[in-house]
Amino acid sequence: MTKKNNHKYIFVLGGVMSGIGKGIATSSIGKILQASGFRINLIKIDPYLNVDAGTMNPTEHGEVFVLDSGLESDQDMGNYERFTGITSTNDDYITSGMVYKYVIEKERNLGYKGKCVEAIPDIVNEIVRRIKLSEQEDRSDISIIEVGGTIGDYQNTMFIEAGRILKLKNPKNVLFILVSHLPVPAKVGEMKTRPTRIASQTLNSYGVQADFIIARSSVKLDKKRKEKLATSCNIPEKNIISAPDIESIYDVPINFELDKLGSKLLKSLGLKALNGIDLKEWKNFVLKSKNAKKKLNIAIAGKYFGTGNFILSDSYISVIEAIKFSSYNLGIRPVLTWLNSKDFDRATRKPSSLKKFDGIIVPGGFGESGVGGKMNIIKYARENGIPFLGLCYGMQLAVVEYARNVLEIKNANTVEIDPNTADPVIDIMPEQKKKLEKNDYGGTMRLGSYPAILKEGTIVRKIYGVDKVNERHRHRYEINPEYIQKLEEGGIIFSGKSPNGRLMEIMELSSKDHPFFVATQFHPEFKAQPLLPHPLFTGFIKACINKK
């Protein structure tokens, strides 16, 4: 443990462009420092004015990662939890929106006692206050703070300024790491250092000197480039870490350790790892992932894939990683196929084309588009014994599909799609109704961790191995209590319910009728970790193996 008032801060900033793996670098640094015996906490700063990530379109911003507390955060928070196993707290996520909202509300309440309130120093002070709140809440020795965006953006300057102020007060306790991109233009055939130099100079103009550079590139940095960066960016050569593209993000901490990044960071902060840096368990997992050879074909049916001419899978990153963790543990290499549910709606693709899959997942979603296609996909999985896992919307639509096609409730629907349906088997939760009437959308769903009681003798009771679980939620609609009896009599088993029995948290079909048809109102993917694969995903993958 570090001494009182000796808390350490590492700021991770991005140079040149976005999308170069700042989040993975931050997670990996967290992993290494944690493995060196220090208590760490990871903070993500998003410079946008949205108060949280909940109101953003996943195709544009990627997955919304829900914390135990219910805060709707950035997908990087998911990486932090997966790499370190730490359950993030509310204060570990900061947006400009949160900061400004707080300061403006405080001003309205005369909290500044008649003073003129300004970005500098009031916004910066509020950022520092939040960073300190987070370290206290997490009782950490070292805070690793990832500032979203790139150096040179107008939006993130206040956060870099907060870092500068912290360093000014305590120079030995604060480090800045620049994660930068070094392009190797095909026509030139040589790695270029100049963009990174400009990023470093821009940072200097803020009064901040980078202490380390993590040099992201398609290939390894050579000696010549290291020397050049060291001189032009004013950084010791040993603090320039080569970070070439590698096969798996989970290799990154191991790769950093080849350059001894952990002990270099600790040394710069005046700390020392007492028992070395122990990444044994992590290396074991990485080895398992590499040795997993047997292939399984798994389809994920969603709609947040397309962006222009590109396919993006970021919207479902936690689902994808959860599949991988359970698969690797069983020696399986999952081959994932994205099904655009809209194709199955218009019947441009026939459900029979799903025959080749060993398992199908329908993840969470919102709104009308692609819903018919999702239901056609679910129907095919149900009728043809393909292992099926439904998540949130995936469960609601599985219930609608069952009601329509098995129980012959022809108008069965969710009121999310048809508010006037004669058979609202999925209805809005009563407390949600009022919120929508007031257009109160931000952060108002049923969010975060809630318990579910598992029913004896069911598939999920067996795979979880316990009778009560806590899982994370994000929804406004629920199985309509008025239809539960009918649905149960018709063959749906609600194997997980809220403790008061009102909310249906898990549904399954009898293993006599289907090898594995399980769906959850919650999002188990948010709690799957490399070193702790999620039982539901493991159960699903096992069923896929059996089917094959």
User: Known catalytic residues?
Assistant: 392, 523, 525
Beta pairing, strands 142-147 & 8-15: parallel
Which one, 158 or 445, has the nearer CB to ligand GLN?
A: 445
Which one, 365 or 524, has the nearer CB to ligand GLN?
A: 365
392 contributes a contact to ligand GLN by CB under 6 A: yes
Contact between 473 and 522 under an 8 Å Cβ cutoff? The reply is yes
How many Å apart are CA 416 and CA 366, to the nearest integer? 8
Contact between 61 and 41 under an 8 Å Cβ cutoff? The reply is no
Strand partners of residue 414: 426
Two tokens at 137?
A: 């809440």
Which one, 125 or 444, has the nearer CB to ligand GLN?
A: 444
Instruction: Considering only the stretches 122-130, 131-139, 244-252, 360-368, report the one whose residues sit in contact with ligand GLN under the rule CB under 6 A.
Output: 360-368
- DSSP conformation class of 153: B
Strand partners of residue 151: 153
Instruction: Considering only the stretches 136-144, 392-400, 500-508, 533-541, report the one whose residues sit in contact with ligand GLN under the rule CB under 6 A.
Output: 392-400
Instruction: Please pick, from the candidates 393, 483, 516, 522, the single residue that binds ligand GLN as defined by CB under 6 A.
Output: 393
Residue 472 three-state SS: strand
Instruction: Considering only the stretches 159-167, 288-296, 468-476, 510-518, report the one whose residues sit in contact with ligand GLN under the rule CB under 6 A.
Output: 468-476
Q: Report in angstroms how near the CB of residue 472 gets to ligand GLN at its nearest.
A: 10
Two tokens at 303?
A: 């709609």
Q: To which residue do tokens 């002070």 refer?
A: 125
Show the beta-strand stretches assigned E in 88-173.
93-95, 142-147
- DSSP conformation class of 120: I
21 contributes a contact to ligand GLN by CB under 6 A: no
Q: Report in angstroms how near the CB of residue 31 gets to ligand GLN at its nearest.
A: 29
Q: Give the contact letters, 410-449, x = binds to ligand GLN (CB under 6 A), - = no.
A: ------x---------------------------------
The footprint of ligand GLN on this chain (CB under 6 A) covers a number of residues equal to 11
Q: Report in angstroms how near the CB of residue 302 gets to ligand GLN at its nearest.
A: 10
Instruction: Please pick, from the candidates 159, 328, 450, 477, the single residue that binds ligand GLN as defined by CB under 6 A.
Output: 477
Instruction: Considering only the stretches 153-161, 215-223, 303-311, 388-396, report the one whose residues sit in contact with ligand GLN under the rule CB under 6 A.
Output: 388-396
Which one, 90 or 444, has the nearer CB to ligand GLN?
A: 444
User: Which position's Cβ is nearest ligand GLN?
Assistant: 364
Which one, 191 or 392, has the nearer CB to ligand GLN?
A: 392
Instruction: Considering only the stretches 97-105, 292-300, 317-325, 359-367, report the one whose residues sit in contact with ligand GLN under the rule CB under 6 A.
Output: 359-367
Instruction: Considering only the stretches 111-119, 203-211, 459-467, 473-481, report the one whose residues sit in contact with ligand GLN under the rule CB under 6 A.
Output: 473-481
Beta pairing, strands 446-454 & 468-475: antiparallel
Q: What share of the chain is helix, strand, coil (3-state, %, to 5)?
A: 40, 25, 35
Closest by alpha carbon to 474, among 389, 370, 364? Answer: 364
How many Å apart are CA 53 and CA 69, to the nearest integer? 14
Which one, 358 or 478, has the nearer CB to ligand GLN?
A: 478
Beta pairing, strands 493-497 & 446-454: antiparallel
Q: Report in angstroms how near the CB of residue 319 gets to ligand GLN at its nearest.
A: 11
303 contributes a contact to ligand GLN by CB under 6 A: no
> Which residues, numbered 479-498, are part of the site for ligand GLN (CB under 6 A)?
none
304 contributes a contact to ligand GLN by CB under 6 A: no
Strand partners of residue 507: 519
Instruction: Please pick, from the candidates 78, 365, 390, 539, the single residue that binds ligand GLN as defined by CB under 6 A.
Output: 365
Instruction: Considering only the stretches 23-31, 74-82, 363-371, 510-518, report the one whose residues sit in contact with ligand GLN under the rule CB under 6 A.
Output: 363-371
364 contributes a contact to ligand GLN by CB under 6 A: yes
Q: Report in angstroms how near the CB of residue 10 gets to ligand GLN at its nearest.
A: 33
* DSSP per-residue string spanning 223-249: HHHHHHHHHHHT--GGGEEEEE--S-G
The span from the first CA to the last CA of the chain, in angstroms, equals 51
H helix runs in 311-366, sequence order: 317-329, 341-345
Instruction: Please pick, from the candidates 226, 342, 472, 475, the single residue that binds ligand GLN as defined by CB under 6 A.
Output: 475
Dihedral of CA atoms 326, 328, 332, 333 in degrees, nearest 10, equals 110
Residue 304 three-state SS: coil
- Which backbone phi and psi does 393 adopt, to 5 degrees? -55, -35
Q: Report in angstroms how near the CB of residue 72 gets to ligand GLN at its nearest.
A: 10
Strand partners of residue 479: 426
CA dist 162 to 11, 119, 167, Å?
10, 11, 9
Q: Report in angstroms how near the CB of residue 492 gets to ligand GLN at its nearest.
A: 18
Contact between 76 and 149 under an 8 Å Cβ cutoff? The reply is no
Q: Report in angstroms how near the CB of residue 365 gets to ligand GLN at its nearest.
A: 5
342 contributes a contact to ligand GLN by CB under 6 A: no
Q: To which residue do tokens 């070439």 refer?
A: 244
476 contributes a contact to ligand GLN by CB under 6 A: yes
Which one, 1 or 436, has the nearer CB to ligand GLN?
A: 436
Closest by alpha carbon to 12, among 56, 45, 39? Answer: 45
397 contributes a contact to ligand GLN by CB under 6 A: no
Residues near ligand GLN (CB under 6 A): 364-366, 392-393, 396, 416, 474-477
